[in-house]
Every structure is written in structure tokens, then in C-alpha cells.
């Protein structure tokens, strides 16, 4: 077990995660309003859009309009998601507003790759070679590795740590072969199979094999385990997390309708504050953004913090009594 990190970096993915999966159309101006509200919270990394085929993800047919419309705040890095050269070119049109970097992605489950990408593991590696070449031709650095379905898969079951580590080894081998300056490894619980024990086991093995790499966790709250998995990660020394305000989003390729989305950003911030870990985020403003997100999507979000609120008002009231 490592010492707790003194601070954590939180990458906010709520806008991109939410609007790719919500069934109803969300007006462009409301997407922009959420991004601007999140910009005022102290978050330093916000994923604002997904440049994907609108036939596949109609919720992001207005990606250009959203990216052109939000108000950038100094000190905040904004980025977007894309999967192919056409998406990359769309992103590069906004390189004055977006932080543009690439990542190489692999899956712990070959069945998920087949379902999501229509490729086996060998096909994934070949696709990633082409992906890297397209980024290098465009002058975009590839600095991250992401392992999807790192803990389990709705189509093939459990992903043992040894299997996940072997899959990670294949994509890290490609990164070494291509001399990529990898700065971070992301372990993604794409379908909500992670538990604290699984997190401890896999994080421990990854850190043992790649001690020079920084780790990030991408946790889904499908079975209410995300916050306990975050505790496990923090106790292992993980200092970077993806999160989504209100618990927005979910994986559209997981064949699990109605499942909760990512760990709620406000729950993660509250957890870190209570553990004495700095986040740089104003929890009150973040809760306001969560309430806005819930209003925008028009249905209750899974975050317990939206309903329960922060403890600070009760502490202040008790001290004043």
C-alpha cells in the first residue's frame, strides 16, 4: 500500500459522456452552459465534446458548435474525443481552443473489442499503428495508453489481473516500438466490474511492472462500487481520475441500458476533501454545476451528493450553535 497522494488531478468528462448517451436532443446552448459552469469550479481538465460520426452518436452532431461556443477560462485545459483521422482533422480545426494529444487504446477483453470495434486484439494493434501514424503526420503527440474493460466485460465475464496485464503489455510494447513518450496509463472500468479488491490487485501489478508510469482510473458506478474503488485507488497512490459531474454518462457499447455513468465528480471531490487530499475544486460551485446538469438532462442523476449536499453548511451551523 502506498501513501495517500497529497493532491489529485480530476479530468471532468461529464459533458462528453452525457451527451453521447442521452436519448433526447440536448440544445447546443445548454451543453455550452454546462461547460462554462464547470469551468468556474476549479477543475483543470474538461472534456467538452466528441468528434465522432453523428450517425453513430447523434448527441454529438453539434460538436463544432459547442467547441466554438464555450468560454475558455485561463488555467483550464479543454480536450475532445475522436477515434479516426476524420475526427482528428475536425479537432485540429480548434487547436487554438483545445488541448490536442493522442492516446493508444487496447482492451482487456477481446470480446469487447469485437463488439465495440469489430476487431480482435491483433486487429486492434494494427489499427493503433495507423492511428499513431496519422497523429504523427499531423504533429500531434501520443502520450497516453488506455486499457478498456480492464476489470471485466459484459460479453466475456471476469478479466483477471493477469489477463489485463498481458493486454496492457501488448499495447505498451507497441508504444515502446514506436518510441511514444507515454506519460500516463489509464485503467478503465468500462462496464462496472471493478471492486476494491480488483482495483488493489491490478493497480499493484501495473505499478510493479511500470513503476515509472503515472496511473489514472476511469470508474463507472454501475453497481455502486465506484467510490469504494476510488478509495482503493487512492490508498494505492493513484493520483489521477476521470469523473463526470452528477454521475453523467455511461458506455453506449456495454449493452447495459440504464446503468449508472462515471463516478460523480462531486462525490470524488468530497471523498478527497474528507481524506485530506487536495483537488483545487470548489465543491459548492461543483454542486451547482451538478444541479444544472440534472436540469439539462431532465431526469434524476445518480449522484448522492446532489440529494445530500455537502457537510460544510452543517458543520458551520453546528459551530455557530
Alpha-carbon distance of 66 to 38, in angstroms, equals 14
Does 153 qualify as catalytic in the annotation?
Answer: no
Catalytic residue (choose from 153, 229, 251, 272): 251
Instruction: List all residues 6 or more positions away from 126 whose beta carbon is below 8 Å from its beta carbon.
Output: none
Pairing of strands 152-153, 184-188: unpaired
* Whether 295 contacts 256, CB under 8 Å: no
Q: At 102, which helix (H) or strand (E)?
A: strand 102-107
3-state secondary structure of 138: coil
Q: How far is CA 221 from CA 103, 139, 267, 303, in A?
A: 24, 36, 11, 10
* CA nearest to 57, candidates 32, 82, 35: 82
Alpha-carbon distance of 54 to 58, in angstroms, equals 4
Helix locations, the chain, DSSP H: 14-19, 28-39, 63-69, 85-92, 110-117, 121-137, 161-177, 196-209, 226-235, 265-274, 283-297, 304-308, 312-320
Would you please indicate which residues are annotated as catalytic (active-site) residues? 251
Amino acid at each position: 500500500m502506498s501513501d495517500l497522494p497529497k493532491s489529485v488531478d480530476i479530468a471532468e468528462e461529464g459533458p462528453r459522456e452525457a451527451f453521447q448517451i442521452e436519448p433526447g436532443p440536448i440544445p447546443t446552448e445548454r451543453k455550452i452552459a454546462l461547460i462554462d459552469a464547470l469551468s468556474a469550479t476549479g477543475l483543470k481538465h474538461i472534456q467538452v465534446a466528441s468528434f465522432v460520426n453523428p450517425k453513430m452518436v447523434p448527441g454529438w452532431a453539434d460538436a463544432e458548435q459547442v467547441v466554438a461556443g464555450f468560454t475558455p477560462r485561463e488555467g483550464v485545459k479543454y480536450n475532445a474525443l475522436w477515434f479516426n483521422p476524420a475526427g482528428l482533422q475536425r479537432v485540429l480545426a480548434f487547436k487554438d481552443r483545445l488541448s490536442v494529444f493522442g492516446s493508444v487504446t487496447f482492451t482487456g477483453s477481446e470480446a469487447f473489442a469485437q463488439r465495440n470495434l469489430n476487431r480482435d486484439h491483433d486487429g486492434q494493434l494494427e489499427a493503433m499503428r495507423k492511428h499513431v501514424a496519422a497523429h504523427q503526420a499531423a504533429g500531434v503527440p501520443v502520450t497516453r495508453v488506455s486499457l478498456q474493460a480492464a476489470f471485466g466485460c459484459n460479453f466475456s465475464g471476469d478479466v483477471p489481473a493477469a489477463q489485463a496485464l498481458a493486454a496492457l503489455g501488448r499495447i505498451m510494447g507497441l508504444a515502446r516500438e514506436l518510441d511514444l513518450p507515454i506519460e500516463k496509463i489509464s485503467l478503465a472500468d468500462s462496464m462496472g466490474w471493478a471492486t476494491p479488491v480488483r482495483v488493489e490487485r491490478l493497480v499493484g501489478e501495473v505499478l510493479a511492472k511500470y513503476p515509472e508510469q503515472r496511473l489514472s482510473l476511469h470508474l463507472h458506478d454501475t453497481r455502486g462500487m465506484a467510490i469504494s474503488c476510488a478509495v482503493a485507488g487512492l490508498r494505492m497512490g493513484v493520483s489521477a481520475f476521470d469523473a463526470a459531474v452528477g454521475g453523467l454518462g455511461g458506455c453506449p457499447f456495454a449493452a447495459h441500458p440504464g446503468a449508472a455513468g462515471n463516478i460523480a465528480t462531486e462525490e470524488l471531490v468530497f471523498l478527497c476533501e474528507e481524506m485530506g487530499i487536495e483537488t483545487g475544486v470548489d465543491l459548492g460551485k461543483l454542486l451547482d454545476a451538478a444541479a444544472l446538469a440534472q436540469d439539462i438532462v431532465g431526469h434524476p442523476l445518480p449522484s448522492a451528493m446532489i440529494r445530500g449536499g455537502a457537510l460544510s453548511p452543517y458543520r458551520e451551523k453546528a459551530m455557530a450553535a
